[in-house]
């Protein structure tokens, strides 16, 4: 990938020959004279509050991960509906103030090989998603039997 066209910058090429930082700086300096355009677009650059619309941010993060990892992605933001409780563990789902926790909502592919398509996703707790991460049904059944014997 090309580098930024500015000599003292080692960042990778973004748009119009400039890295993301220098492109934003150039755009800002060119559009400050047009307040309507400047403020309308600059608001898009500012990070929006995750707490206002967590379903959208779950969708957006999933879309980026799917693109990066080459996973099929065919869902819309409206397909991500966060329930009040985890359908697997029954624990309440909530958005924490300091990152993710066991009760954070997480998107899950029911059948991982199908990708993120309608009917193949569920919103479950982060804890349930970590438990389910890469275990097969047989492994989970064996784990359940072992735990019942131990307890």
Own/partner contacts of 141-145, CB < 8 Å, gap of 24 or more, are none
Both tokens assigned to 57: 């941010």
Query: Residues 24-63: pLDDT tens digits?
Result: 777 777 777 776 666 665 555 554 556 678 888 888 889 9
Domains of the chain: 1-46 (no CATH), 54-138 (3.30.40.220)
User: Which among 113, 107, 115 is positioned nearest to 82, based on CA atoms?
Assistant: 107
CA dist 122 and 115 (Å) reads 12
Which of residues 96 and 82 earns the better pLDDT score?
A: 82
Q: Specify whether the CB–CB gap between 9 and 17 falls below 8 A.
A: no
CA dist 95 and 105 (Å) reads 7
CA dist 122 and 82 (Å) reads 9
Looking at residue 7, what is its pLDDT? 63
Query: Residues 75-89: pLDDT tens digits?
Result: 988 899 999 999 999
């Amino acid at each position: 990938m090309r580098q930024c066209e500015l000599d003292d910058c080692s960042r990778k090429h973004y748009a119009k020959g400039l890295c993301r930082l220098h492109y934003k700086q150039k755009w800002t300096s060119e559009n400050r004279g047009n307040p309507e355009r400047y403020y309308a677009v600059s608001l898009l650059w500012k990070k929006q509050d995750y707490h206002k619309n967590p379903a959208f941010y779950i969708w957006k993060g999933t879309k980026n991960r799917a693109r990066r990892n080459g996973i099929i992605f065919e869902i819309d933001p409206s397909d991500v509906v966060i329930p009040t409780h985890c359908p697997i563990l029954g624990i309440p789902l909530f958005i924490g103030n300091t990152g993710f926790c066991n009760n954070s909502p997480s998107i899950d592919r029911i059948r991982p090989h199908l990708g993120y398509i309608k009917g193949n996703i569920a919103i479950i707790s982060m804890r349930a998603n970590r438990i389910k991460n890469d275990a097969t049904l047989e492994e989970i059944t064996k784990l359940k039997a072992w735990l019942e014997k131990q307890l």
